[in-house]
């Protein structure tokens, strides 16, 4: 067995308790180990991605129990690229958190950060539906800690809403899994695919209920309308570097939709034929539209970026809901783009909030206005999908893939008008924040905004703005590289989509070792 597959889960699982138990009072050492851990995770992710490019689907049997009796981890092209994305996203965020001093405003930032990475990587790698639930809980419980990191009354209140909403979603997840198990008698995804195909069509009522419940759960995670209500308040009130990390969490929902509804309840399975796409597509279009309107209407930069995240999830799910090879390849490319672009905008929003507060109204000019404004401009271009950055390529691919879809007119109209409203909204925010400040009435400069209730029990080193800028430029570099190497990236995602739409290979790799 190839032990690299389990490494992205084991490494953070060991590192996080080590940071809590051994390095609890040594912030500098925590930072060193945390960054080293993320770099090592990136190395592991690159290794398994290069292994996955051969197209072979590798299976890791935990405890050497063969599927479907034991839990398996499965490494295919899609899980490898998602683990790689997690590591690529984590590196600038951890550097930014160190550079901006966010990790010093509460306790255990780095430990929670690595627990979160463990949950995300596990969710991407697992081949078992119940294990997917467990990894969802791992990433959620870490995210509860990260979301309320630094404290403060407003943030804790937003945290209560966030936790309540996600606990409800977890309960729904268990109901869905129970329903599916009671019909099929298995929760291994490959085995599930086999059993679902065997069930006679007249006995599938309960199974359809289970499939739709499961879709609802993933839609909550992916913040699809009308299940998105948790997102704006919790992202806007979370520490913004954490919100940038949460950009991958909505993608976990999108990934799960793509995985489960191409494998177990695939588009050509009679039980759920047409069920998923028919519901998901209108919901995704409305998500896009509401997100765009939210960008235009926001009065606070953090909330505006949260709506940017919703818009990009809408675009992504439009592509996913088409359930065709071309559209899935476009969606996979867009996942990379939208995760990096959302994270970049959250980091820039944090810079703005640290310097002048987040309200989108003219106030005094802030230090380093030019540099921050340039970064906001780049992030805005990427998010809105204007050339020359990867958002343009991504949206072009999505539009191209939906050209022959039955509802192509609606899809094109919503995506194009939504992009236009996004541009207007971002331009409005940028103008008010960066340009109008020179005309604003000069009020005495406010003290640096610090969170109430912040305890700095550890030694409080000065923030390193240079490191923070390096991290943000790293995210920009990621977007630029994604644009420059769009060809090879698209080749990879094309083959990934091809692999996803031939689930027979996945099933035989997991179940039939003798073959």
- Residue among 392, 373, 374 nearest 383 (CA): 392
Beta carbon nearer to other proteins, 357 or 463: 357
Q: How far is the CB of 220 from other proteins (least distance, A)?
A: 14
Q: What is the 3-state secondary structure (H, E, C) of 263-291?
A: HCCCCCCCCCCCHHHHHHHHHHHHHHHHH
Pick from 144, 279, 377, 412 the residue near other proteins by CB under 8 A: 144
- Residue 45: strand, helix, or coil: helix
Beta carbon nearer to other proteins, 168 or 413: 168
Burial degree of 118 (CB within 10 A; 0-12, 13-18, 19+): buried
**Of 20-28, 134-142, 248-256, 429-437, which part binds other proteins (CB under 8 A)?**
134-142
- Spatial contact of 355 and 318, defined as CB atoms under 8 Å apart: no
Q: How many residues bind other proteins (CB under 8 A)?
A: 49
Q: How far is the CB of 512 from other proteins (least distance, A)?
A: 22
The residue whose two tokens read 């003290």 is 447
Q: How far is the CB of 350 from other proteins (least distance, A)?
A: 12
Residues 440-469 as x/- pattern, contact with other proteins by CB under 8 A: ---------x-x-x----------------
Q: How far is the CB of 451 from other proteins (least distance, A)?
A: 8
- Spatial contact of 311 and 422, defined as CB atoms under 8 Å apart: yes
CA distances from 315 to 119, 249, 318, 347 (A): 25, 16, 5, 22
CA distances from 94 to 33, 34, 191, 421 (A): 11, 8, 38, 32
Pick from 1, 168, 417, 477 the residue near other proteins by CB under 8 A: 168
Beta carbon nearer to other proteins, 47 or 170: 170
Residues 224-243 as x/- pattern, contact with other proteins by CB under 8 A: ---------x--xx------
Pick from 4, 26, 29, 137 the residue near other proteins by CB under 8 A: 137
Question: Quick one: tokens of 68?
Answer: 């479907």
Q: How far is the CB of 327 from other proteins (least distance, A)?
A: 34
Beta strands in 18-149 (DSSP E): 58-61, 72-75
What lies within 8 Å, CB to CB, of 370 at 6+ separation is none
- Spatial contact of 16 and 141, defined as CB atoms under 8 Å apart: no
**Of 36-44, 80-88, 156-164, 212-220, which part binds other proteins (CB under 8 A)?**
156-164
Q: How far is the CB of 448 from other proteins (least distance, A)?
A: 10
The residue whose two tokens read 């995704």 is 284
273-302 positions binding other proteins, by CB under 8 A: 298-300, 302
What is d(CA 304, CA 298) in angstroms, rounded to the nearest whole number?
A: 5
- Residue among 185, 187, 213, 215 nearest 199 (CA): 185
Pick from 20, 53, 178, 407 the residue near other proteins by CB under 8 A: 178
**Of 113-121, 353-361, 389-397, 465-473, which part binds other proteins (CB under 8 A)?**
353-361
**Of 24-32, 160-168, 375-383, 463-471, which part binds other proteins (CB under 8 A)?**
160-168
Q: How far is the CB of 167 from other proteins (least distance, A)?
A: 5
Residues 186-205 as x/- pattern, contact with other proteins by CB under 8 A: -x------------------
**Is the Cα torsion angle 13, 15, 20, 21 positive or negative in sign?**
positive
- Residue among 173, 118, 127 nearest 146 (CA): 118
Beta carbon nearer to other proteins, 166 or 250: 166
What lies within 8 Å, CB to CB, of 379 at 6+ separation is 341, 344, 345, 348, 476
What is d(CA 83, CA 62) in angstroms, rounded to the nearest whole number?
A: 19
**Of 8-16, 139-147, 335-343, 381-389, which part binds other proteins (CB under 8 A)?**
139-147
Question: Quick one: tokens of 364?
Answer: 């005094």
Residues 356-395 as x/- pattern, contact with other proteins by CB under 8 A: -xxx-x----------------------------------
Pick from 110, 221, 303, 395 the residue near other proteins by CB under 8 A: 303
- Contacts with other proteins, residue ranges (CB under 8 A): 130, 134, 137, 140-141, 144, 148, 151-161, 163-164, 167-168, 170-171, 174-175, 177-179, 181-182, 185, 187, 233, 236-237, 298-300, 302-303, 353, 357-359, 361, 449, 451, 453
């Amino acid at each position: 067995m190839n032990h690299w597959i389990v490494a992205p889960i084991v490494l953070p699982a060991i590192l996080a308790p080590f940071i809590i138990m051994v390095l609890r009072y040594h912030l500098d050492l925590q930072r060193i180990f945390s960054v080293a851990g993320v770099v090592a995770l990136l190395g592991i992710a690159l290794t398994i991605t290069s292994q996955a490019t051969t197209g072979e689907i590798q299976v890791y049997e935990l405890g050497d129990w063969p599927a479907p009796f034991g839990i398996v981890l499965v490494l295919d092209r899609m899980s490898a690229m998602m683990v790689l994305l997690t590591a690529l996203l984590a590196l600038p965020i951890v550097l930014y958190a160190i550079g901006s001093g966010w990790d010093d405003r509460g306790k255990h930032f780095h430990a929670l950060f690595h627990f979160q990475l463990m949950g995300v990587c596990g969710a991407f790698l697992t081949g078992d539906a119940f294990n997917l639930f467990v990894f969802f809980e791992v990433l959620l419980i870490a995210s509860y800690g990260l979301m309320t990191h630094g404290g403060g009354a407003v943030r804790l209140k937003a945290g209560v809403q966030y936790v309540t909403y996600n606990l409800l979603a977890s309960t729904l997840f268990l109901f869905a899994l129970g329903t599916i198990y009671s019909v099929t008698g298995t929760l291994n995804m490959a085995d599930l695919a086999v059993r679902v195909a065997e069930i006679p069509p007249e006995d599938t009522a309960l199974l359809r209920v289970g499939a739709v419940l499961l879709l609802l759960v993933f839609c909550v995670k992916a913040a699809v309308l009308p299940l998105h209500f948790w997102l704006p308040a919790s992202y806007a009130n979370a520490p913004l570097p954490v919100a940038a990390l949460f950009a991958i969490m909505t993608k976990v929902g999108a990934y799960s939709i793509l995985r489960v509804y191409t494998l177990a309840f695939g588009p050509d399975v009679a039980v759920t034929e047409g069920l998923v796409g028919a519901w998901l597509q209108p919901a995704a279009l409305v998500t896009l539209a509401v997100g765009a309107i939210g960008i235009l209407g926001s009065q606070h930069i953090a909330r505006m970026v949260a709506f940017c995240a919703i818009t990009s999830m809408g675009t992504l799910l439009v592509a996913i809901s088409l359930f065709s090879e071309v559209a899935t390849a476009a969606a996979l490319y867009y996942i990379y783009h939208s995760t990096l672009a959302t994270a970049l905008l959250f980091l820039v929003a944090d810079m703005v909030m640290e310097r002048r507060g987040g309200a989108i109204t003219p106030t005094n000019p802030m230090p380093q206005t030019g540099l921050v404004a340039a970064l906001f401009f780049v992030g805005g271009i990427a998010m809105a999908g204007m050339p020359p950055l990867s958002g343009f390529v991504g949206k072009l691919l999505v539009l191209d893939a939906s050209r022959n879809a039955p509802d192509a007119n609606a899809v094109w109209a919503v995506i194009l008008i939504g992009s236009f409203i996004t541009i207007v909204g971002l331009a409005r925010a940028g103008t008010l924040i960066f340009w109008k400040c020179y005309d604003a009435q000069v009020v005495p400069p406010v003290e640096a905004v610090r969170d109430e209730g912040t305890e700095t029990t550890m030694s409080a080193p000065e923030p390193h703005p240079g490191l923070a800028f390096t991290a943000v430029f790293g995210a920009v570099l990621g977007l630029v590289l994604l644009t420059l190497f769009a060809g090879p990236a698209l080749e990879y995602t094309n083959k990934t989509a091809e692999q996803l739409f031939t689930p027979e290979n996945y099933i035989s790799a997991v179940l039939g070792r003798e073959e």
